[in-house]
Amino acid sequence: MAEALLTIDAVTVRFGGLTAVDGVSATLHTGELIGIIGPNGAGKTTFFNAISGVQPPTSGTLHSSTDNLTGKGPHHYAAHGIARTFQTPRVFPDMTVRDNVRFGMQFAGRHRQGPEGLRSEGEILAMLGLAHLADRPAADVTPSQQRLLEIGMALGTRPRLLLLDEVAAGLTEAEVDAMAQRIRRLRDDWGLTVVWIEHAVATLLKYVERVLVLHQGRKIADGTPAEVVRDPHVIEAYLGDEMAANSEGATA
Ligand SMILES: Nc1ncnc2c1ncn2[C@@H]1O[C@H](COP(=O)(O)OP(=O)(O)OP(=O)(O)O)[C@@H](O)[C@H]1O
């Protein structure tokens, strides 16, 4: 079994009387490509916030392979190689595409001349198909390129674990598919661990090998796409029979 990159143990996040994430445990291993699905309000983004230091859990623990990260802030997570995107793209519109990626590098406090194997902003932009736009202001690029640039900013922190929150939202079907192929290449070619929240479930299930399903803050399934689409709890809570029938063709 690959190395455990992040061990999440019984993480709960409460907002007053509302339990947004309810005792979720999971171990994320090096090189995994994992999807997270679930209905609106299931707790997916709050779960990401908890495992990236944005929202300290109310209870439960988070450990990297070497350290206890519980209660630490986002910089600490970034320094441990954990990076994320946000549901609303947060690029700097007046800065060039290249400088947006450089900003990510500074956020993690690591510089280009750092340890061997770290990618330069040129390599990151080439990987994302944005190299030809490097000197353009981020405001000039299309919405789908802005989504890619947000991934580029996260990659600028040189992560081992990349958390993607609905990076394909609002894209056309063809754009979602192209995005999924690039995300897969980040894992295949660069060896990153990627966890991807997306509502475009059919596409997601085609590209990931493992799926966590959240419902009312709880993890109700954790398995291969083929297992998850056949799981009666998942069908009842989220997918519905029709979706399960459609997805089986894609994952069988
Ligand atoms: N800062 C907050 N304060 C209070 N309640 C919150 C806060 N953030 C999230 N919630 C609530 O927690 C629950 C889970 O929200 P969350 O955004 O994590 O779900 P989600 O699965 O990501 O939903 P979506 O698919 O719509 O993005 C919701 O009921 C939401 O209203």
Model confidence, pTM: 0.90
Q: Which atom of ligand 1 is nearest to the CA of 49?
A: 18
Quote the CA–CA distance of 156 and 159 in Å, as a whole number. 8
Ligand 1: centre distance to CA 67 (Å): 28
Which pLDDT score, from 0 to 100, does residue 49 have? 96
C-beta neighbour count of 171 within 10 angstroms: 18
Q: Which atom of ligand 1 is nearest to the CA of 87?
A: 27
* pLDDT beneath 70: ranges in the chain: 1, 89, 107-118, 241-252
Which pLDDT score, from 0 to 100, does residue 146 have? 92
Q: Enumerate domains of the chain plus CATH numbers.
A: 1-81+160-222 (3.40.50.300), 85-158 (no CATH)
Ligand 1: centre distance to CA 59 (Å): 17
Sign of CA dihedral 13, 18, 19, 21: negative
Q: Which of 194, 238, 185 is CA-nearest to residue 216? A: 238
Which pLDDT score, from 0 to 100, does residue 116 have? 41
List ligand 1's pocket residues with C-beta within 6 A.
Answer: 15, 18, 20, 38, 40-46
CB 212 within 8 A of CB 11: no
Instruction: Name residue, tokens 């192929």.
Output: 181
Ligand 1, atom 25: nearest CA belongs to which residue?
A: 40
Quote the CA–CA distance of 101 and 148 in Å, as a whole number. 11
Which pLDDT score, from 0 to 100, does residue 163 have? 96
Ligand 1, atom 31: nearest CA belongs to which residue?
A: 41
Beta strands in the chain (DSSP E): 4-15, 18-29, 33-37, 59-64, 82-84, 161-165, 193-197, 210-215, 218-223
